[in-house]
Amino acid sequence: MIDKFLKDKFNLALVGTVILALFLRFVNYQNRWGLAYDQARDMLVASEALRLGSLPLIGPFSSAGQFVYGPQWYWIIMYMINIFPYSVMGPWVIQTLLYVFVVFIMYLIGKEIIDKRLGLILAFLTAISTTQIALSTNLISPSMAGIFSVISVYFFVRFVKYGRNSDGFLLAFFVGNTINIHFQAIGLLSLIPISFLFNNKRKIKQLLFLAFGLFIPFIPLLIFDLKTNFFESRNFLDYYLYGQNRIYVPNRWLTYLGVFWPKTWASIIGGYPLIGYLIVIFLALLTAWQLVTRKISKAIFSLMIPFFLIVLMLRYYKGEIFGGYTAFLNPFILILTSFLIYEIFKTKKLLAFFLIGIITVSTLYMDYQEIKFATNNTAKSAKYVKNVLVNKYPDTKFAVYDHKFAYATNSYALVLYLNQDKKIDDKGMKIGFAFPDPKSKMRKDFPRIFYEGGFPEAYDLSASSSSELLKEKWIFVNPSEVYKTTVEWYKSKR
């Protein structure tokens, strides 16, 4: 069976593409997996939820307003920890493997849209995409939204093509989960009505499957809203009516279309901004010509409509749009770029090879920069300090505090490593972290344990009670406290 599979040149090329994706995502991995505040906090929440045998009802607060995400991101991390419980970086490895699997899903999408050739072009561009490579090693909710958006697009294409209820249900289900993971993906809702309009069956029963698939992922947030006197819905409404206007972010049409999108396009493909401009211009010309001649693929046209609507929606979004927040748009940009190359290849093979050649060269150069010069200083420092503490106090467990919560990235990362080694206990030895300050009375009040350059100073806080420490603005950062303040804060207010 393997010999028969590999005799097909398309299958052989696909295997090579997946191997390339594996290499680009895992080479120099020790320096590339990203550990910072959000990643450490989310890992601590998921670990504590597993210890308590609890299932969080909500996710963290959105940076846009006073409302929370759904809990799906924490559920996913909990599942990852269960699969790979023996290493802090286990969930990162699993997410990176999922981004390799995304390459195969993109192949299937291209195959469903037109044929295997489009699938291979799409898989190759996904494999070398600088943004896809960067997202694969960054354990944040937008990265997972990027994976779920690819799966959503896959079932969108299948539902448009076949009109099966199961595909419609899974489309809506994954769209709902993607939005709950990160609200920036709310534009994916447009996939649902458009998929219904473009499939050939269009039956009422399909609408029921779509509605049910979309409803299920929002059940936890609905329960939370009912438990908290409509906290989520009230704050959503406040943000829509007032909150989004409190911060002004300039976003002219000329800058948005002429600068932001070509640069975003190029960053996802992995090339220079000029390549982004060329692709956008050629794609616009090709689309206009195919619309006039009525030769455009139904699957491609049906994908262009939600993409256009999302572009329009983001233009009127009042907040800043960071690169990671557009992760859910990656499949659209990769598909449309691959489609352009595919169509050029049919009539102008040399031009198509030239285009994919300059994309490949510039993308691999960007990949080299991303991979070669990556650092993970937070993880290295936290692991070093953990080893110092464990060696100095081999039979001791710790309760960790952060002065004024000013060094949360460092302290959270340290707690993550201590927790992995079962060296965390709420009743353990109290230790606090703060950067050295000659004017601070902490030097006199608390014995210093040690200080290493680049990491906060460590103090022995054992002589003080928790209430005394709180008065002095020492913030408790053990997993139990991180869990309570992140996903159970609303229970203390009831």
- Are both 121 and 231 inside the same structural domain? yes
In a domain, 55, yes or no: no
Task: Tell which of 372, 394, 419 closes a domain.
Answer: 372
Same structural domain for residues 189 and 271? yes
Q: Clarify whether residues 473 and 402 are in a common domain.
A: yes
Q: Within a 13 Å sphere around the CA of 342, how many CA atoms are in the beta-carbon half? A: 24
At residue 243's C-alpha, the angle toward residues 241 and 245, to 5°, is: 85
**Torsion-angle region of residue 473: left (phi > 0), alpha (psi -120 to 50) or beta?**
left
Output the pLDDT for position 29: 95
Are residue 25 and residue 157 in the same domain, yes or no? yes
Residue 32 region by backbone torsions, left for phi larger than 0, else alpha for psi between -120 and 50, else beta = alpha
Instruction: Give the three-state DSSP class for 400.
Output: strand
Which parts of the chain register pLDDT below 70? 1-7, 246-250, 319-320, 322-323, 436-444, 453-454, 493-494
- Report if residue 277 sits inside a domain: yes
Angle between helix axes 37-52 and 72-83 (nearest 10 degrees) is 70
Residues 336 and 449 grouped into a single domain: no
Alpha-carbon distance of 230 to 222, in angstroms, equals: 9
Q: What is the domain range of residue 334?
A: 2-31+62-372
Residue 45 lies in a domain: no
- Unique residue bearing structure tokens 């990671």: 324
Instruction: Give dist(CA 149, CA 136) in Å, integer.
Output: 14
Same domain for 259 and 381 = no
E strand or H helix at 203: none
Is 178 domain-assigned? yes
Give percent of the chain with pLDDT exceeding 70: 94
Does the residue 217 lie in any domain?
yes
Distance CA 209, CA 211 (A): 6
CA within 13 Å, CB half, 255: 6
Q: What is the pLDDT of residue 5?
A: 59
Predicted pLDDT at 427: 94
Whole-angstrom distance, CA of residue 171 vs CA of residue 178: 11
| Domain end point (choices 372, 406, 433) | 372
Chosen domain end from 372, 405, 437: 372
Enter the pTM of the model. Answer: 0.92
Regarding whether 172 and 216 lie in a shared domain, the answer is: yes
In a domain, 48, yes or no: no
What's the pLDDT at 448? 86
> Are 297 and 168 within one domain?
yes
Number of domains the chain contains: 2
- Distance separating alpha carbons of residues 374 and 354, to the nearest angstrom: 30
| 307 C-beta neighbours (distance < 10 Å), count | 18
Flag whether 16 is in a domain.
Answer: yes
In terms of domains, do 146 and 227 share one? yes
Q: How far apart are CA 175 and CA 310, in angstroms?
A: 14
Contact 17, 120 (CB under 8 A): yes
Tell me if 194 is assigned to some domain: yes
Angle, CA of 358, 359 and 361, to the nearest 5°: 65
Residues 72 and 209 in one domain: yes
> Are 366 and 427 within one domain?
no
CA 370 to chain centre: 17
Same domain, 415 and 304: no
